[in-house]
Amino acid sequence: MKEKIFTRYQVFVIAILSFLQFTVVLDFMVLSPLGAILMPELAIKPAQFGMVVSVYAFSAGASGFLAAGFADRFDRKRLLLFFYAGFILGTTLCAVADNYHDLLIARIVTGIFGGVLSSISFAIITDIFKMEVRGRVMGFVQMSFASSQVLGIPVGLYLANKLGWHSPFFMIVAICMAVGVLIVIFLKPVNAHLKIPSTRNPFEHLFKTVSRPLYLRAFAATTLLATGGFMLMPFASAFSVNNLGISLDQLPLLYMITGVFSMFAGPLIGKYSDQVGKYNIFTVGSIVTMVVVVIYCNLGITPLWLVLVLNILMFAGVSSRIITSSALVSAVPVPQDRGSFMSVNSSVQQISGGIAAYVAGKIVVEAADGKLEHYDTLGYVVVGAMIITVVLMYSIHLYVDKKSSVEVKPQFKTPPA
């Protein structure tokens, strides 16, 4: 009989962390589509709404650095529950906010707690799953992004239109409560890292994490990975409508079909990355993404079917990069540094994404007819960032390969510096 890859408990861990990620991603993504309803109801200007959206990323980035020094001093299950409870509180505050300032404070609270959840989840994955199957795990967990796009956002918008803009946040709170109960009851303590002697205080622990050369290379790779995604994402819908000729009615269809393909692609990419090598899939995904980005960013009026094909290829390439790089980077820190490393890595991702979106806004210019100019320049910048990332990830790949070959018990034995 063929041996099972995952135990029943491991399947549960993958499922519960995927649902948790789904709620976090949905909370972040659902706000932007609600802008058309929120701005007139709360009488806020576009600049104020932009602040409501961006303040989440910056508060999440700041909290990641602040939490990094303490992330390896507690059972990861307890840490996960603490921050998830804070995230539920922040989302509840969003649901009951009735003016701009209340909503702004609510988003800050949500960002402070929500920004750390992904890093704790990835630390748990690294503790529980071997490197040989971690690509599959990351593939399933990363599927939460596509799921929120296909399932969560349409349902959230439907509820907002029928019951008001508060209702999507109440929906997220309800899902979070169910996920939280399952974590409390069924998730076992994740505390193997506490058995490793460590005398460093939280501030020394943070300093060591942000000053180790190997970790800095991983943070640099994460910075450039976030740069590519966040540069194109803010202007994607405007470019599709104004430059490619996609109608507003066709836009939801475009995102939904792309999301469905991404949902199925994630687990497959994870599986093949475990079989043929994570860096190999990362490189192939990067090449596919670079080719599509150059073509896409230079298009004019384009048939919907071709835009769909290019979007599916682009998202497949991006998913390949995210899944494989997450698996590779997760193997970089030693066990007693995992929580701190993941927290800093998450912070770097959030902050660099915000900066990238700002820089993209300086490159792209809106013409008098509504078309976006210099979008091709933006594409070339993204491709340049991808090329550098491939080089950085190669050095990480070599380290992880060497580490895997010398470690007998990777979850406890400290690798050579």
Section 313-326 average pLDDT: 89
**373 DSSP β-pair partners:** 365
- Give me the half-sphere count of Cα atoms (radius 13 Å) on the Cβ side of residue 228: 27
Which tens digits make up the pLDDT trace of 217-232? Answer: 988 888 888 776 677 7
What is the residue-averaged pLDDT of the chain?
A: 84
Task: Please determine, for residue 416, whether its predicted confidence score (pLDDT) is greater than 60.
Answer: no
- Give me the half-sphere count of Cα atoms (radius 13 Å) on the Cβ side of residue 398: 7
The domains of the chain are located at 8-186+201-405
**412 pLDDT band (50/70/90 cuts)?**
very low
Section 364-385 average pLDDT: 86
Task: Please determine, for residue 209, whether its predicted confidence score (pLDDT) is greater than 70.
Answer: yes
pTM metric for this prediction: 0.78
- For 234-241, the CB contacts below 8 A with 24+ separation are 234/357, 234/360, 234/361, 235/360, 235/364, 235/372, 235/375, 235/378, 238/372, 239/372, 239/375, 240/307
**89 pLDDT band (50/70/90 cuts)?**
very high
d(Cα 284, Cα 77) in Å, to the nearest integer?
A: 36
Q: Which comes out higher in pLDDT, residue 409 or 340?
A: 340
**414 pLDDT band (50/70/90 cuts)?**
very low
Give the range among 104-113, 122-131, 355-364 with minimum mean pLDDT: 355-364
Query: Is residue 68 exposed (0-12), middle (13-18) or buried (19+ Cβ within 10 Å)?
Result: buried
Contacts for 77 with CB less than 8 Å, ≥ 6 apart: 124, 183, 187, 188, 189, 190, 191
Residue 144 · residue 21 · CB < 8 Å? yes
Classify 8-186+201-405 by CATH class.
mainly alpha
d(Cα 271, Cα 259) in Å, to the nearest integer?
A: 19
Q: What does the pLDDT read at residue 345?
A: 86
Q: What does the pLDDT read at residue 409?
A: 46
Residue 390 · residue 283 · CB < 8 Å? yes
Which tokens hold the place of 260?
């469905």
Strands 365-366 and 372-373 come out as: antiparallel
Q: What does the pLDDT read at residue 279?
A: 93
3-state SS of the chain: helix, strand, coil percent to 5? 80, 0, 20
Task: Please determine, for residue 417, whether its predicted confidence score (pLDDT) is greater than 50.
Answer: no
Q: How many CB atoms lie within 10 A of CB 96?
A: 12
By percentage, how much of the chain surpasses pLDDT 70?
A: 91
Which tens digits make up the pLDDT trace of 171-191? Answer: 999 999 999 999 999 999 998
Task: Please determine, for residue 142, whether its predicted confidence score (pLDDT) is greater than 60.
Answer: yes
Q: What does the pLDDT read at residue 204?
A: 77
